[in-house]
């Protein structure tokens, strides 16, 4: 495990907004005044309706997108002051993304996809990249599919390849956008257990965006994003409301 202070802030957002200019010159406000800190070893879940801005927030946390106003810092360094090349290196070395759309390399094998983040690594990570990627595929249950072309895999298998790719460099910050969306219940539970396990092993922070309350409940801190506003949430109430809805539906 990395020797890191649990109180060290990895990424911090302060009064972040995000808006886009529409064709009629009006502005669509996506995020409104969001302040959030994520520290080493943290596990945060963010829930919200489709279109609430969850993926936009994740992209800002991962330094793929910039806020309209407000500030973002990574390990105390203001992101807006980083040059493009330096920002790419910081993101590539420290952030692992599990994208909702997988974003795998078409025509390349599962192993090629998982090895990709190690292509610019240094030392052992580079020279042992094939063995490291193979081990990670085995951990997500795809050790027998390493040479299969990624776009010929099932949706659930592609999701597991994407997760293996995100974890292979042992990033400080793991950002997962609906990580179990393409998986059945049992496989989804095992994948979340793996994300938790790898994050614990490396003292990484894990931020999960999900519609699944059971997935969200695994985190230590829970937030809801609604109309661009982020606030702590009590998932127990959400579970109660979900149970009531399911109960009324079954009795209809």
Beta bridge partners of 21: 27
- In this predicted structure, the answer to whether residue 202 has a pLDDT above a threshold of 50 is yes
Structure tokens at 172: 């400080």
CATH number at residue 194: 3.40.50.300
pLDDT digits (tens, 9 = 90+) for 36-75: 999 999 999 999 988 889 999 999 999 999 999 999 999 9
Kindly report which listed range (9-23, 130-144, 201-215) carries the lowest average pLDDT score. 201-215
Residue 3 maps to a domain = no
Residue 1 maps to a domain = no
Domain count, the chain: 1
pLDDT digits (tens, 9 = 90+) for 95-130: 999 887 888 999 999 999 999 999 888 888 899 999
Residue 4 maps to a domain = no
State the residue for tokens 């010159």.
25
Residue 2 maps to a domain = no
């Amino acid at each position: 495990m990395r020797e890191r202070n649990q109180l060290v802030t990895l990424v911090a957002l302060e009064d972040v907004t995000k808006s886009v200019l529409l064709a009629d010159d009006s502005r669509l406000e996506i995020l409104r005044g969001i302040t959030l800190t994520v520290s080493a070893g943290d596990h945060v879940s963010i829930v919200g309706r489709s279109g609430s801005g969850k993926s936009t927030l994740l992209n800002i946390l991962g330094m793929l997108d910039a806020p309209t106003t407000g500030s973002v810092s990574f390990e105390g360094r203001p992101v807006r002051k980083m040059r493009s090349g330096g920002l790419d290196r910081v993101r590539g070395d420290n952030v692992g993304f599990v994208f909702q759309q997988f974003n795998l390399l078409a025509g390349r094998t599962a192993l090629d996809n998982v090895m990709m983040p190690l292509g610019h690594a240094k030392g052992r990570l580079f020279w042992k990249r094939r063995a490291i990627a193979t081990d990670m595929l085995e951990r997500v249950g795809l050790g027998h599919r390493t040479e299969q072309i990624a776009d010929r895999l099932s949706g659930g298998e592609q999701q597991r390849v994407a997760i293996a790719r995100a974890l292979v460099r042992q990033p400080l910050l793991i950002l997962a956008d609906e990580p179990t969306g393409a998986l059945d219940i049992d496989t989804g539970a095992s994948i979340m257990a793996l994300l938790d396990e790898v994050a614990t092993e490396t003292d990484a922070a894990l931020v999960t965006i999900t519609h699944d309350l059971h997935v969200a409940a695994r985190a230590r801190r829970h937030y809801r994003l609604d109309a661009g506003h982020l606030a702590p949430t009590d998932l127990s109430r959400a579970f109660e409301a979900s149970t009531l809805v399911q109960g009324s539906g079954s009795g209809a």
